[in-house]
Amino acid sequence: QMRSTRKVSVWPVGLVGGRRYERPLVENGKVVSWYTGWRADRPFAVDMAGFAVSLQVILAHPKAVFKRRGSQPGMQESDFLKQITTVEELEPKANNCTKVLVWHTRTEKVNLANEPKYHVDTVNIEV
């Protein structure tokens, strides 16, 4: 699905942010908000495994950088994406962000500390 990215596309990521998954919330084919366990107020509350950028966008924004230092914790993705796109322009993938096709994995026990006690998302996603 990344191959069809025209500008910047997004999708859910499993096992991230202390939850089973995080995802963009989509209405009428547009990203309107975020289902996340951490700082939903971020401009782009997405994990770095949850988006793709077309080469044309990178070439059109040669000064855009993904900062290793200088961003607040957890804000690297937002700081980068603000330089190249807007939330309104995001292209939802993975069946309007209702399917987990990417997992944020580590060689350690999964942390689900931010998982809500009761399922509060509007869709039932298998992880």
Write out the catalytic residue numbers. 77
Burial 53-71 (b: 16+ CB within 10 A, else e): bbeebeeeeeebeeeeeee
Please state, in angstroms and rounded to a whole number, the distance separating the CA atoms of residues 72 and 3.
Answer: 31
Strands of the sheet with 8-10, listed across from one edge: 51-53, 8-10, 91-92
Cβ atoms 34, 23 nearer than 8 A: yes
Sheet holding 30-35, edge to edge: 13-16, 19-27, 30-35
